Each structure stands twice: as C-alpha cells, then as structure tokens.
Amino acid sequence: MMKGAHFPATTAAFALLALATFHLVSASDPSSLQDFCVALKNTDAGNTSNAVGSKVTPANVEQIAGLNTLGISLARIDYAPNGGLNPPHTHPRASEFLVVMEGTLYVGFVTSNSDNGNKLFTKVLYPGDVFVFPVGLIHFQFNIGKVNAVAIAGLSSQNPGVITIANAVFGSKPPIKLDVLTKAFQVESNVVEYLQNQFWYDNN
Ligand code: MN
C-alpha cells in the first residue's frame, strides 16, 4: 500500500488513482463487518473408500457461520494408503497452507501459462512439513505411503471454492461439446467420449 511518503492526497484525481491501485493489489477478502459470531464444528476422519481414495472435510463458512467476514477457513484431508489422491484442483478465492499430520504425501502445483510457462513444483512431505499452494493454481496431493495420511489445510478465504479439473472439464452438466474438447486436448472423439462417460467423484 502506497500511503505515507508518496501520497500527498491533494487532488481528487490522485485519490481516485490511489484507490484504483489499491483495488488492483488487494487479494484478500474484504475487511470484517462484525467482531465475531460463536460456532463450533467437529472434523472427524473422512471416509476414503471412493474412486480417488481421499476425502476433504471442509470447515468453511458453510459449516461454521462464525467465519463470516473473517477471511479464513480450514479443511481436513484424509488419504487412503498406497495412492489415495486429492486430484488436481484449484481454489479460485484462496491460497492454501497445507500441514501434514500423518503419512507421506507427494504434493505439487503448476504455475500459470505466462508465469514460468506451466512449471511443475513438487515435494515429498512428512508429518510436520508444510507446503503452500498459491491462489488459483492447479495442485494435488498423493499418498505414497503404506498407511493412512492426514493433512490440515488453512485457506485464505471464508469461502475458498474448489474446481476439480477432471470433474469440471469432463463431468460438466450438460457436457462440453465434443468438438471443443477434441480440439483442446488434441485427441480423437472416442477418447473424449470415454472420459465424459466416467463418473467423476467429488471428494469435497
Ligand atoms: Mn486444495
């Protein structure tokens, strides 16, 4: 924020320019409209017996009304042994700070097209390790251990949102037109039809 030394604030035009600048760099939720609202929520282990072998248990403003206007939320993520996967997804409104509680996770994210040209960053994480997924970037976690894994994710929004890539692209309702996806993915239509005919489990 450019207040102080470089902000004489002598004209309305300058003030408007400063406001516009602040708006461009403001990436978090708006400031609080209330002090607090008491609420509690228990986050038990999620059931990982599903197609991807993971379960996200969110603790956002939908479950905890007291998070309203606070700009934060949490999620517990459980992973089945030997390959439990939180599949590639993005959060349109939040960066994510992951803390591994149990198990061994191979995690990663991919940068945007222009920022380093879709560079993949990965790391193997053990209990106590932390990792950050920047807002909007596609990321995943994969249990490479022989036992259950558990992680806690802190998110910088009361309502982070989640877009699971496969579900959104191949499982939309109604389906995206075949010609669009065959051209986008440079494959024959039978490949796209196969993918569109799968059941895309939502682990959230
Ligand atoms: Mn995430």
pLDDT at residue 158 in the model? 97
The verdict on residue 16 lying in a domain is no
Whole-number Å distance, alpha carbon 36 to ligand 1 midpoint, is: 26
Instruction: For residue 141, give both structure tokens.
Output: 């976690």
HSE of 81, CA atoms in CB hemisphere, 13 A: 3
**What are the pLDDT tens digits along the chain (204 aa)?**
333 334 344 444 434 444 444 445 556 666 766 666 555 556 689 999 999 999 999 999 999 999 999 999 999 999 999 999 999 999 999 999 999 999 999 999 999 999 889 999 999 999 999 999 999 999 999 999 999 999 999 999 999 999 999 999 999 999 999 999 999 999 999 999 999 999 999 999
Instruction: Please give the distance, rounded to the nearest whole angstrom, from the Cα atom of residue 150 to the centre of ligand 1.
Output: 14
What separation in Å is there between the alpha carbon of 106 and the centre of ligand 1? 14
Centre of ligand 1 to C-alpha 124, Å, is 16
Q: Are 137 and 109 in contact (CB under 8 A)?
A: yes
Residue 87: count other Cβ atoms within 10 Å of its Cβ. Answer: 19
**What residues form DSSP beta bridges with 106?**
124, 142
* Any domain includes 107: yes
In this prediction, residue 194 carries a pLDDT of 98
Asked, for residue 145, whether it belongs to a domain, the answer is yes
Q: What is the pLDDT of residue 44?
A: 83
| Residue 103 forms part of a structural domain | yes
**74: containing domain:** 54-163
Is 157 a domain residue? yes
The answer to whether 74 and 152 have CB atoms below 8 angstroms apart is: yes
The tokens for 185 are: 């993915």
Report CA(89)–ligand 1 centroid distance (Å): 6
Going from the Cα of 96 to the center of ligand 1, the distance in angstroms, rounded, reads 6
Could you give the number of structural domains in the chain?
1
- Surrounding residues of ion ligand 1, Cβ less than 5 A: 96
Q: Which residues contact 194 (CB under 8 A, 6 or more apart)?
A: none
Residue 115: the pLDDT is 81
Residue 181 domain flag: no
Residue 144, domain member (yes or no): yes
Q: CA–CA separation, 104 vs 47, rounded Å?
A: 18
**Per-residue model confidence (pLDDT) at position 18:** 42
Q: What is the pLDDT of residue 144?
A: 98
Domain contains 40: no
The CATH number for 78's domain is 2.60.120.10
**Spacing, Cα 52 to ligand 1 middle (Å):** 15
Rounded to the nearest whole angstrom, what is the distance from the C-alpha of residue 151 to the centroid of ligand 1? 11
Distance (angstroms) between ligand 1 centre and the Cα of 193 equals 28
pLDDT of residue 196: 98
Tokens 């248990």 belong to 57
Q: For residues 139, 48, 76 and 198, what is the CA-based torsion angle, rounded to 10 degrees? A: 40
